[in-house]
Amino acid sequence: MHAIIDHLIELCPQAWTRQLLDMGSYVYQPADADARLYLIEKGLVKIGSLGASGERILYDLLQPGELFGDLDYIDDAEFFEFAQAATPLSVLAIDRTAFRRAVRLDPVLADWFQQTLVRRWHRAETRLLHRSSVPVDGRIRFLEEQYSARVTDAHYHLHRPFDLLSLQEVGDLVGATRQTVSRKLKHRLVLAM
């Protein structure tokens, strides 16, 4: 990951800044006008949007090496997501226009960008498949496996990503209610005793 960050800094020397954010701080909120993309160096980022009643709905938890922000590739689509630091966070903020130009001109960056998009797409498709074909217990186990590897934050502390998710956020990610997630996790604890 450090190689791609160094490469990107070299390609866009005037188009980036490093940002450090405290846990709980928003990188951006729905409807913010932000023409930057963000590459996670250290820490975790919760990505989501607002439901019809204004409730927060989480749809991903991003880790170091992942890119997020409004790519602005879909015409007339309002970008309406939030990005919140789940841990102390270090990100590289890159001007969107400069990034898109660099992706068009540099095959190394273009290859990395395509791999990054395909990995996120695959993760989303797998979750959707599990929602329709795997019982809730299995979806929770799969999510826990997906987010079990420890991640270093901007203060060099280790975190297990799954442990940073609330019951509601686990429910958002597996397609279940907070109450169902709570009941399933309590049941697992009882069985483990």
Rounded to an integer, what distance in angstroms lies between the CA atom of residue 147 and that of residue 162?
A: 5
| Nearest partner of 84 among 22, 41, 163, judged by Cα | 22
Residue-range domain boundaries for the chain: 2-192
pLDDT tens, position by position, 96-119: 999 999 999 999 999 999 999 999
Q: What is the DSSP annotation of 69-106?
A: E----STTPPP--EEEESSSEEEEEEEHHHHHHHHHH-
Residue 76 has pLDDT above 70, yes or no: no
CATH 2.60.40.420 given to domain 2-192: no
Residue 147 has pLDDT above 90, yes or no: yes
Once rounded to an integer, what is the mean pLDDT over residues 63-67?
94
Share of the chain above pLDDT 70, in %: 95
Per-residue CA distances from 176 to 32, 79, 167, 172 (Å): 29, 25, 10, 7
pLDDT tens, position by position, 151-165: 999 999 999 999 999
Once rounded to an integer, what is the mean pLDDT over residues 26-39?
88
Residue 184's identity, in one-letter code, is K
130: left (phi over 0), alpha (psi -120 to 50) or beta: alpha
Both tokens of 156, joined, read 């060099």
pTM: 0.90
Residue 68's identity, in one-letter code, is F
